[in-house]
Amino acid sequence: MKAWIRILAALLLIAGMVLPAGAFTAEELDISVNESGAATIDFTYSLSWLERFAVFLKIADPTEEFAKALQKYSNGHGVESVAVDDQTASFLVEGFAKVSAGENGTTIYTTPALNFEDAEKALEEYWFAPLVQADFSPAETRVVFVGKTTRTFQDTSTIPMISVELTGQA
């Protein structure tokens, strides 16, 4: 019996050395700004087996970490988690975009700059950080203003402040 335990332990040790390190990958970030400046933010990501295990054990929660990161962009408003599964997190952030009146009846929407490098710093606080290869730069980020104008960014760790002037808005 002890021989089987030793063999199993040796196999687990070898598997741990052979298996690739975990990888967190940000796939897509969709930000939809409505007329009031509130934003629905959908974050799609993939987790390796290591991260899935960490989430299962409640060691790390990517949704909670993303909500904390969004809090600093919420202009003092709350960040509400509206839907979560193992690959997607959706949030509602009131006051995400600043809304102001432009000339001739236009409305100006201004979103804050976003920096995904802060997420990497948050990851470093976990004991398993050396085991994880993380890519926090979404492959594609889309910011949609009132369903009319879209700004798209590819594989970048920072999104600049965006100002859009739209006609016919309240």
Question: Looking at the domain assignment, is residue 9 inside a domain?
Answer: no
Residues 106-133 have a mean pLDDT of 78
Residue 4, pLDDT > 50, answer no
Q: Which pLDDT does position 135 carry in this prediction?
A: 77
pTM for the predicted model, two decimal places: 0.73
Question: Looking at the domain assignment, is residue 29 inside a domain?
Answer: yes
Question: Looking at the domain assignment, is residue 59 inside a domain?
Answer: yes
Residues 132-141: pLDDT tens digits?
677 778 899 9
Domain span holding position 85: 22-166
Question: Looking at the domain assignment, is residue 105 inside a domain?
Answer: yes
- Write down the residue that tokens 């993939």 correspond to: 46
Residue 58 pLDDT grade (very low, low, confident, very high; cuts 50, 70, 90): low
Question: Looking at the domain assignment, is residue 148 inside a domain?
Answer: yes
The neighbour count for residue 131, using CB atoms within 10 Å, is 14
Q: Which pLDDT does position 82 carry in this prediction?
A: 72
Higher pLDDT, 142 or 116: 142
Question: Looking at the domain assignment, is residue 142 inside a domain?
Answer: yes
Closest CA to 161 of 122, 121, 119, 115: 115
Q: How many domains does the chain have?
A: 1
Question: Looking at the domain assignment, is residue 5 inside a domain?
Answer: no
Strands 88-93 and 79-84: antiparallel
Residues 13-25 have a mean pLDDT of 49
Question: Looking at the domain assignment, is residue 34 inside a domain?
Answer: yes
Residue 45 pLDDT grade (very low, low, confident, very high; cuts 50, 70, 90): confident
Residue 11 pLDDT grade (very low, low, confident, very high; cuts 50, 70, 90): very low
SS3 19: coil
